[in-house]
Amino acid sequence: MGQVEKTGHLQDLIKEKNIDFVGIMETIKQDFSVGLLRGLSGNKNMKWEWLPAMGHSGGILVGINIDKLSMLAVSKGDFHVKIELQVMQTNFCWDLIVVYGAAQNAHKDRFLTELANIIQKQMKPLVMGGDFNIIRKESDKNKAGGYNRWSFIFNAVIEQANLREIFLGGRKFTWCNNQENPTLEKLDRIFVNTDWEKEYPLTMAKTLTRSISDHNPLLIDTGVLKITHKSFKFELSWFLREDLKEIVESVWKINYYGSSIERWQKRFRALRKKLNGWNKNWEGRYRREKESILEKIENLDAKVERCGMSREDREERKELEDKLNFVIREEKIKWFQRSKEKELLEGDCNTKYYHAKANGRKRKSYIHSLTQEEGEIEGQEKLLTYITSFYKDLFGHPKQNTLFLDMRGVTTIMEEHKVMLTKPFSEEEVRIVVFELKKNKAPGPDGFIGLVDIDRLNFGVINLIPKIKDAAQIQKYRPICLLNVSFKIITKVLMNRITEIMTYIISKNQTAFLKNRFIMEGVLILHEILNSLHQKKQSGVLFKVDFEKAYDKVDWVFIYRMLKAKEFPDQWCDWVMKVIMGGKVAVQVNDQVGPYFKTHKGLRQGDPLSPLLFNLAAKALILLVQRAEDNLLIEGLGENDNNKVVILQYADDTIFLLPDNETYAKNLKYILCLFEQLSGLKINFNKSEVFCIGEAADKAEVFSQIFTCSVGVLPMKYLGIPLDQKRITKKDWRNAENKMESKLGCWQGKLQSIGGRLILINSSLSSVPMYMISFFKLPKGVKEKMDFFRRRFLWQEDQGIRKYHLVQWPIICSPRDQGGLGVLDLDIMNKALLGKWI
């Protein structure tokens, strides 16, 4: 803090980011001069409080812009500064706690005790941030180690106080030791409580560039993006209103001119306009009507105390209670829809829970900034322009392909398949599709949820879903296309028809999205081959392929050629090509939709037909490999010559299995390059991995150079399952444990009734390990830890009142007709799932 450069940088940061409060940790100063503090304040009227350093470590400095925030009280401890504040504009009172945690293990016990004492007594809305010097999970560090008993205690303290950690956009780690082989850790965090979220539901945070310190500054923002145009969205809660049916019927009875598809679209437009106006009359109704009903009930209760309750009073109160229940249920469904939860929780209204979930989803999907080669992109307009341009290029014209795949001798569809595909569509087919559409899914551009010239309907909005928690590049987002519900009905009808015959023409090596094929089949085959190599002390090479934007790069011409090669009828091919070609899409960034543009390649993720068409494209790779096998250019791994496996595929998750043979590896690389040219797909060789087993490990670098990829280390992950030649350890279960711990934090339990928690334990929390326990025996220690998380969530404290575990856990897990609550017993479920392999 004494250096002029650091002071100048902090001053610029406070001015540039329009800071209203700032916390600076590890100042290593006992006192601050007036001149230094005045320099830090710049043109702002800042008041400063500090905690002196302990020797040559620690120290906290906190600045408050007293033109906007009134300081009501200040308290300090050995590791924190707490300031009670009031927002002058709104009179909103809250507490700010700035923390510098003990760096030495000898003092961590004292630090965590102090932290628990101050936050468990917290009554006001709270923001707490700082350098805690503790990681919360193993992924918070780029090297092994770091997660220890202090991490466990720290997590318990945070969860017991019902605090929510604000997601940090921009970076995964916040500290670096700046060495040649750097250690990176996430030590700095920001927490808020539910009372703060009620006032500032969309509080967000991001990491800034690390320049003058070995820590990244954290910027917290309470603002919200203002969208000038609010798009139409059908609300599930409207189904509770009695006049909805009348409105729909009144619009549908009007006679419109034009083709059938034009009449359909005109009715939808008219209905959207009618519902929009109808709903505006209801906006704000929840609060007003609820207040009116409660006031009438209060007046009625006062009358009863004076005069007693007559029959008319009882009937009036019952009527008021029914109205209140209706209003509460409508509000509950509204926030349930926004939360994107799969099940509506029963018990109490749980509206606060859905509200918090909806706000949490909003924060996670919000894009603060993106990095590219030229630097960082910030600001809504710049982000929208950059992302739209990126996807215009991605979906632009493909390179002209002069290669053709000889399809002679391939399996084609039968005559009865051709008749089934092109027969007239029945009303029953469409009815089934409409009723299968999920209600609580994001609506398309038309605003409707699950409820010829296809080009009139072929519009979509691309929503960006982060693939990883700390996505900072556009490549780290998955583009999900939300289609018009009218168009989705058409594609789903086509999908239902082609699904019946896809298992006939798609190879057994492909296990994705096909009837009677199981995702775990490929995992089982790979697991058995690995174990066989280990037991027989044989060598092998596994090449795990990473496709770059797989769905987005498929060449439409290639899809058409594959359809024709399989002898699909011309009419069917025309229907499919109309679905995937000629559409327009727009990108939605932070609730703002950009301009629509035409696409020229790619299969839209979100179109029901896309997964099956991608399987068809991937079939070409299987054909290339099979022909190479037939010509002895490549060979697989297996027990004998009759059941050797070269390739396993689940959509774009592809793995190749080869003997320890450099020639086979070179031939495979050539096949993959041919497939790139044929299909338009691009393989990220630098992100792919090669695993060398047995004596092949001595030539790992050779295979790495052939495939131009990195060398992987077992256990490897395939389709989310860790696989090794030996039995997996407890460490390999830690990801499932961490996911369970973070999925339903205790801050959520406070917002639910015990009935709601019970539903979430069964529907969400217990499902976390399901994938793993369907393949491996659940270790006793892992099972006990997962039961601990579920017990803690069930018996969560309510309104600060501690809840004791009133019933033993085995009884809780017993069936309801035997006096239990029907919570899933993981041991019994593990045995049942493993039984299917017998």
Q: At residue 303, does pLDDT exceed 80?
A: no
Confidence grade of residue 338 (pLDDT, cut at 50, 70, 90): low
- Are residues 247 and 359 both part of a single domain? yes
Task: Give the mean model confidence (pLDDT) for residues 8-18.
Answer: 79
Q: Which structural domain, as residue segments, surrounds residue 139?
A: 4-221
In angstroms, rounded to a whole number, what is the distance separating the alpha carbons of residues 601 and 407? 22
Q: At residue 71, does pLDDT exceed 90?
A: yes
Confidence grade of residue 802 (pLDDT, cut at 50, 70, 90): low
Instruction: Give the number of other Cβ atoms within 10 Å of residue 655's Cβ.
Output: 23
Asked whether residue 567 is domain-assigned, the answer is: yes
> What is the reported pLDDT for 346?
43
Of residues 704 and 436, more confidence is placed in: 704
User: CA triplet 579, 583, 587: central angle to 5 degrees?
Assistant: 125
Do 477 and 464 touch, CB atoms closer than 8 A?
Answer: yes
pLDDT tens digits, one per residue of 521-574: 889 999 999 998 988 899 999 999 999 988 899 999 999 999 999 999 999 999
Q: At residue 335, does pLDDT exceed 70?
A: no
Q: At residue 144, does pLDDT exceed 90?
A: no
Last residue of a domain, one of 169, 188, 221: 221
Q: What is the CATH number of the domain that holds 125?
A: 3.60.10.10
Best CA proximity match to 342, nearest among 417, 260, 440, 258: 440
- Are residues 448 and 354 both part of a single domain? no
> What is the reported pLDDT for 189?
93
CA distances 17 to 12, 221, 237, 380, 413, Å, are: 8, 10, 40, 16, 63
Last residue of a domain, one of 317, 335, 364: 364
Asked whether residue 369 is domain-assigned, the answer is: no
Confidence grade of residue 660 (pLDDT, cut at 50, 70, 90): very high
Q: At residue 230, does pLDDT exceed 80?
A: no
- Are residues 195 and 251 both part of a single domain? no
Q: At residue 278, does pLDDT exceed 60?
A: yes
> What is the reported pLDDT for 280?
67
Average model confidence (pLDDT) for the chain? 83
Asked whether residue 656 is domain-assigned, the answer is: yes
pLDDT tens digits, one per residue of 618-658: 999 999 999 999 999 999 998 777 788 999 999 889 999 99
> What is the reported pLDDT for 386?
92
Of residues 294 and 221, more confidence is placed in: 221
- Are residues 623 and 480 both part of a single domain? yes
- Are residues 315 and 449 both part of a single domain? no
Last residue of a domain, one of 197, 221, 245: 221
> What is the reported pLDDT for 829?
93
Asked whether residue 783 is domain-assigned, the answer is: yes
pLDDT tens digits, one per residue of 175-223: 988 888 889 999 999 999 888 988 887 788 888 877 778 888 899 988 6
Asked whether residue 638 is domain-assigned, the answer is: yes
> What is the reported pLDDT for 95?
95
Asked whether residue 168 is domain-assigned, the answer is: yes
Asked whether residue 228 is domain-assigned, the answer is: no
- Are residues 332 and 390 both part of a single domain? no
> What is the reported pLDDT for 408?
78
Asked whether residue 230 is domain-assigned, the answer is: no
pLDDT tens digits, one per residue of 345-381: 444 444 555 555 556 666 677 787 788 877 788 888 8
- Are residues 587 and 472 both part of a single domain? yes
- Are residues 713 and 787 both part of a single domain? no
pLDDT tens digits, one per residue of 575-590: 999 888 867 889 998 8
Confidence grade of residue 228 (pLDDT, cut at 50, 70, 90): very low
Of residues 336 and 810, more confidence is placed in: 810
Of residues 363 and 509, more confidence is placed in: 509
Share of residues in the chain with pLDDT > 70 (%): 86
Q: At residue 796, does pLDDT exceed 60?
A: yes
- Are residues 280 and 243 both part of a single domain? yes
**63-67, 258-262, 670-674: which range is least confident on average?**
258-262
Confidence grade of residue 286 (pLDDT, cut at 50, 70, 90): low
- Are residues 394 and 518 both part of a single domain? yes
Give kind and range of the element (H or E) at residue 180. Answer: none
> What is the reported pLDDT for 223?
67
Do 304 and 313 touch, CB atoms closer than 8 A?
Answer: yes
- Phi and psi of 671, rounded to 5°? -60, -45
- Are residues 260 and 177 both part of a single domain? no
**What's the total number of domains in the chain?**
4
Tokens of 465: 């879903």
In angstroms, rounded to a whole number, what is the distance separating the alpha carbons of residues 129 and 184? 19
The 3-state secondary structure of 540-599 reads EEEEEECEECCHHHCCHHHHHHHHHHCCCCHHHHHHHHHHHCCCEEEEEECCEECCCEEC
> What is the reported pLDDT for 70?
94
Task: Give the mean model confidence (pLDDT) for residues 594-608.
Answer: 89
User: CA triplet 378, 384, 388: central angle to 5 degrees?
Assistant: 130
- Are residues 261 and 143 both part of a single domain? no
Of residues 486 and 465, more confidence is placed in: 465
Q: At residue 668, does pLDDT exceed 80?
A: yes
> What is the reported pLDDT for 227?
47
Of residues 230 and 306, more confidence is placed in: 306
